[in-house]
Amino acid sequence: MATATRTKVIAIEEHYFDPEVTKALGGNRQPPPIVERLNDMAGIRIKEMDEGGIDVQVLSQSGSGTQNMDPKTAAELAPGVNDRLYETVRMHPDRFQAFAMLPTPDPKAAANELERTVTKYGFKGAMIHGLTHGEFIDDPKYWPIFERAAALDVPIYLHPATPHPKVIETYYKEYVQKYPGIITAPLGYTMETMTQGVRMVLSGVFDKYPNLKIILGHMGEGIPFLLWRINHTLHVTGNTGFNFRDVFCEHFWITTSGFFSDPALLCSMMEMSADRIIFSIDWPWANNKEGRDWLDSMSISASDKAKIFGGNAEKLLHMERNA
């Protein structure tokens, strides 16, 4: 009798901090245990991967990346960051893959850097953190990035960052002092990234580039739970020729990063299918073992669990290219 092959566990929103980015951004103000892990590229990282049963991390620069740098600085910094990241992957090819950091303030340079890292280094796509100088990435000036991603058949991971200052002032100012985290993971990050996801669908970028693939973390930043209502009410208000739900479910994948909730996963599976959900931890802010144990314990089929744990990532990110 043939022996069953164990599903490879791949986590795709797993962060680090490049020293030159830290310097350019004026330091890292995270708690010391987080800083220690963000700066670690093999020791603690691999030890905690082993303890948690994580086979592969897809590494991505944390924080705001280059999004708020001037175009020249961003374009000059990004290649070195990605070169250093490649060296880490090269030293541990069985444990790490990578998403590129892109200099989005210079969209042409960002598109070229995406192509360089994918074709030269085998990177699996790129991660973009929030707004670029206060602008959402669906603005047509940034579409060269999406054109190149579609041509290369690699996804763009849209990661949260701090909301626009005017949003903070209008929505959160009464609460920031008492609950400073409110503008980050508890609400601010989700609201900003959910808005970006909706804008991407409405922008027409997927009509222009039908092979474009987008990843949203944190169980889709709330969009899967709102799909029916968004789609229904857009039709009620006269947009009858446009099906928001179909476009979203065709072009987006979501991850479990930092969101180990049974009801949330089940809802997302019912709305998008297990084929569109990819396992992630959000290390080092979330714990490898907690995330692995949570999905292991879920009462879902073995085939769906295998897809989420690694099969979907292998397919979307073309892991076979590194075989």
Strands 277-278 and 252-255: parallel
Q: Decide if 5 is inside a domain.
A: no
Q: What confidence tens digit (pLDDT) does each residue in 237-252 have?
A: 777 778 999 999 999 9
- Confidence (pLDDT) at 79: 98
Q: What confidence tens digit (pLDDT) does each residue in 181-229 have?
A: 999 999 999 999 999 999 999 999 999 999 999 999 999 999 999 999 9
Q: Decide if 89 is inside a domain.
A: yes
- Helices and strands in the chain, H and E counts: 16, 9
Burial of residue 61, with CB atoms counted within 10 A of its CB: 0-12 exposed, 13-18 middle, 19 or more buried: buried
Q: Decide if 3 is inside a domain.
A: no
Instruction: Tally the domains of the chain.
Output: 1
This model's pTM is above 0.85: yes
Three-state DSSP class for 56? strand
**Number of neighbouring beta carbons within 10 Å of residue 247:** 17
CA dihedral for 208, 209, 213, 214, sign (positive or negative)? negative
CATH code of 65's domain: 3.20.20.140
- Angle, nearest 10°, between helix axes 143-152 and 107-121? 20
pLDDT above 70 for 1 = no
The two structure tokens encoding residue 24 = 């350019």
Tokens 């944390």 sit at which residue? 62
At 255, the pLDDT band (50, 70, 90 cuts) reads: very high
Q: Decide if 222 is inside a domain.
A: yes
Burial of residue 170, with CB atoms counted within 10 A of its CB: 0-12 exposed, 13-18 middle, 19 or more buried: exposed
- Confidence (pLDDT) at 322: 61
- Confidence (pLDDT) at 238: 75
Q: Decide if 2 is inside a domain.
A: no
pLDDT above 90 for 233 = yes
Q: Decide if 136 is inside a domain.
A: yes
Query: Residues with catalytic annotation?
Result: 282
Q: Decide if 196 is inside a domain.
A: yes
Q: Decide if 143 is inside a domain.
A: yes
Q: Which domain holds residue 310?
A: 10-322
